[in-house]
C-alpha cells in the first residue's frame, strides 16, 4: 500500500495526539485527537492524491463524530450499532489473533475494515464518494484508528500490541523515505 508523505506525517502526529487522549475515557476526545492534525493542513497546497486522503480522513472523522454523538445520546441507529460492534469487538478480536505479523489476519481483517469504513462514511453527509478513497486509504485509516482505540481501551493483547506498533512505525518510516 502506497501511503503518501502527507498521510504518514499526519499519522505520526495523530499517534502522539492519541497518546495524549489516552488519559481520557471520552471517545470524542480520541476521535478529535486522532483526526485533529488534518485540520491544520492548507488544502490549497495539496495535490489531487493528497486532497483525496485529506477528504477521506475528514469524512471518516465526521462519521465517527456522528456515531459518538448518537452513542452518547443513546440514540444509536443500526449503522451506529454495527460501527460500535466492529470497533469494540470484531476488529480487536481479529487483531488479538496476531502472533508475528498482521499478514496472519489480513484476509479476515481487511474486509472488516472496509465494511466499517463504509459504515462510518455513510454516517456523514459532508463528503460524497467521488471525493474520497474508500478502497485503499479508508481501510488503512480505520486500521490505525482501531489500533489506537483498542490500545486506548486496553483491549489489545501484549503480543498483538507490540507487533502492530512495530508495523505501524515501519509503514511510517518507509513512506517517509519515498
| DSSP assignments along the chain, one per residue | ----HHHHHHHHHHHHHHHHHTT---HHHHHHHHHHGGGG--GGG--HHHHHHHHHHHHHHHHHHHHHHHHHTT---HHHHHHHHIIIIIHHHHHTT-SS-GGGGHHHHHHHHHHHHHHHHHT--SS-GGGS-TTTHHHHHHHHHHHHHHHHHT-S-HHHHHHHHHHHHHHHHHHHT-
Q: For residue 41, what pLDDT is reported? A: 62
pTM summary value: 0.81
Q: For residue 38, what pLDDT is reported? A: 57
Domain range for residue 95?
5-176
Contact 169, 177 (CB under 8 A): no
- The tally of domains found in the chain comes to 1
Q: What parts of the chain have a pLDDT lower than 70?
A: 1-25, 37-45, 172, 174-178
Q: For residue 79, what pLDDT is reported? A: 96
Give the separation between CA 169 and CA 61, rounded to whole angstroms: 22
Contact 10, 37 (CB under 8 A): yes
Q: For residue 29, what pLDDT is reported? A: 80
Amino acid at each position: 500500500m502506497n501511503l503518501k508523505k502527507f498521510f504518514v506525517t499526519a499519522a505520526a502526529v495523530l499517534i502522539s495526539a492519541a497518546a495524549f487522549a489516552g488519559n481520557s475515557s471520552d471517545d470524542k476526545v480520541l476521535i478529535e485527537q486522532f483526526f485533529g492534525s488534518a485540520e491544520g493542513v492548507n488544502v490549497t497546497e495539496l495535490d489531487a492524491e493528497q486532497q483525496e486522503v485529506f477528504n477521506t480522513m475528514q469524512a471518516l472523522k465526521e462519521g465517527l463524530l456522528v456515531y459518538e454523538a448518537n452513542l452518547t445520546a443513546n440514540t444509536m441507529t443500526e449503522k451506529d450499532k454495527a460501527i460500535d460492534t466492529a470497533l469494540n469487538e470484531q476488529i480487536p478480536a481479529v487483531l488479538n489473533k496476531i502472533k508475528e505479523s498482521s499478514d496472519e489476519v489480513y484476509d479476515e481483517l481487511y474486509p472488516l475494515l472496509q465494511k466499517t469504513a463504509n459504515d462510518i462514511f455513510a454516517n456523514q453527509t459532508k463528503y460524497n464518494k467521488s471525493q474520497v478513497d474508500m478502497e485503499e486509504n479508508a481501510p488503512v485509516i480505520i486500521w490505525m484508528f482501531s489500533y489506537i482505540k483498542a490500545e486506548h481501551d486496553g483491549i489489545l493483547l501484549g503480543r498483538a500490541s507490540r507487533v502492530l506498533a512495530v508495523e505501524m512505525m515501519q509503514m511510517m518510516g518507509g513512506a517517509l523515505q519515498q
